């Protein structure tokens, strides 16, 4: 009976973690560039250990968190500093310990002309340097398909003033989720040229969270959690009955 109780506890804990994960996805359904996370589970005992040592009663735990990096929908905004990546790659932004990577492109220009994210992080070029755009109040800013930033003066003169870096990652499993929508690189992770991409100026990539799908998963996880909870209540009642009956001999 004790083994069964611990098995139910393990299942309840796993479901609770799943509910927390789904809730985080739903909380970011309207966050530009957000990438949903999923969870995979595994049994702790396999083969003969399950059938012989545990007599068929098993335990489970979260095996790993998985980030779904599929592209979200794209919404046109008309804002020249809103950029979306169609295809492969990430923007680079300045982090406290080196470059971070994101698909979120709702940028702005601060008072010093530095291109920044909505959270204040500087957007970087290929040399990991900040991008400064001069005379934004008088000139018109255009961003090419490969990230070239051009300033067009009122008299029609064009000048290249910067380059937004877009990079690929050699192994996306080596991306570590950081704050907001950014990722850092784990050991072994390296930047590589993106295979196929196009920057869409005046557009934003939306969250790739499907609300209907997540709500369905949330309901299922809640029901499974409630089932485990009822099992635990059953074990608790059995324990009380045993205490009342006492022991024989």
Instruction: Please state, as a whole number, how many other Cβ atoms lie within 10 Å of the Cβ of residue 234.
Output: 13
pLDDT at 230: 74
221 has a pLDDT exceeding 50 = yes
pLDDT at 38: 86
CA–CA distance, 133 with 142 (Å, rounded to integer): 11
What is the tens place of the pLDDT at every residue in 12-43?
777 788 888 999 999 999 999 999 998 766 65
pLDDT band at 201; cut points 50, 70, 90: very high
pTM: predicted TM-score of the whole model, two decimal places: 0.80
pLDDT at 236: 65
Which helix (H) or strand (E) is 187 found in, with range? Answer: none
What is the tens place of the pLDDT at every residue in 93-124?
999 999 999 999 999 999 999 999 999 999 99
- Number of continuous H segments (helices) and E segments (strands) in the chain: 3, 17
pLDDT at 4: 59
153 has a pLDDT exceeding 80 = yes
Kindly provide the residue ranges of all beta strands, DSSP E only, lying in 112-213, ordered along the sequence: 115-116, 140-143, 148-152, 158-163, 166-169, 175-177, 183-185, 191-192, 197-201, 203-205
239 has a pLDDT exceeding 70 = no
Maximal CA-CA distance, the chain: 103
pLDDT at 130: 97
More confidently predicted of 112 and 243: 112
pLDDT band at 220; cut points 50, 70, 90: confident
């Amino acid at each position: 009976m004790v083994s069964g109780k611990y098995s139910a506890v393990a299942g309840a804990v796993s479901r609770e973690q799943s509910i927390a994960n789904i809730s985080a996805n739903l909380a970011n359904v309207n966050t530009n560039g957000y990438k949903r996370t999923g969870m995979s589970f595994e049994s702790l005992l396999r083969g003969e250990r399950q059938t012989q040592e545990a007599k068929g009663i098993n335990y489970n735990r979260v095996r790993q968190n998985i980030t779904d990096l599929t592209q979200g929908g794209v919404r046109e905004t008309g804002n020249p500093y809103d950029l979306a990546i169609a295809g492969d790659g990430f923007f680079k932004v300045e982090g406290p310990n080196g470059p971070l990577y994101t698909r979120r492109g709702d940028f702005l220009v601060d008072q010093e002309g530095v291109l920044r994210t909505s959270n204040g992080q500087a957007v970087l070029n290929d040399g990991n340097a900040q991008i400064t755009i001069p005379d934004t109040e008088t000139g018109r800013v255009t961003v090419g398909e490969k990230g070239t930033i051009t300033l067009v003066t009122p008299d029609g003169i064009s000048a290249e003033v910067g380059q937004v870096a877009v990079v690929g990652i050699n192994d996306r499993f080596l991306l570590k989720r950081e704050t907001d929508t950014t990722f850092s690189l784990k050991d072994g992770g390296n930047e590589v040229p993106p295979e196929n991409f196009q920057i869409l100026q005046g557009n934003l990539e939306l969250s790739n969270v499907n609300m209907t799908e997540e709500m369905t998963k949330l309901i299922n996880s809640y029901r499974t959690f409630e089932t485990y909870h009822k099992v635990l209540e059953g074990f608790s009642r059995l324990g009380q009955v045993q205490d009342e009956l006492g022991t024989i001999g």
